[in-house]
A and B are shown apart, each in its own frame.
Chain A
Amino acid sequence: QLQLQESGPGLVKASETLSLTCTVSGGSIGSSSYCWGWVRQPPGKGLEWIGSIHYSGSTYYKPSLRGRVTLSVDTSKNQFSLKLSSVTAADTAVYYCVRHAPGRGTYSPGVLEYWGQGTLVTVSS
Chain B
Amino acid sequence: KAGVTQTPRYLIKTRGQQVTLSCSPISGHRSVSWYQQTPGQGLQFLFEYFSETQRNKGNFPGRFSGRQFSNSRSEMNVSTLELGDSALYLCASSLAPGLKPQHFGDGTRLSIL
The answer on A and B forming one complex is no
B residues whose Cβ falls under 8 Å from a Cβ of A: none
* A positions within 8 Å CB-CB of B: none
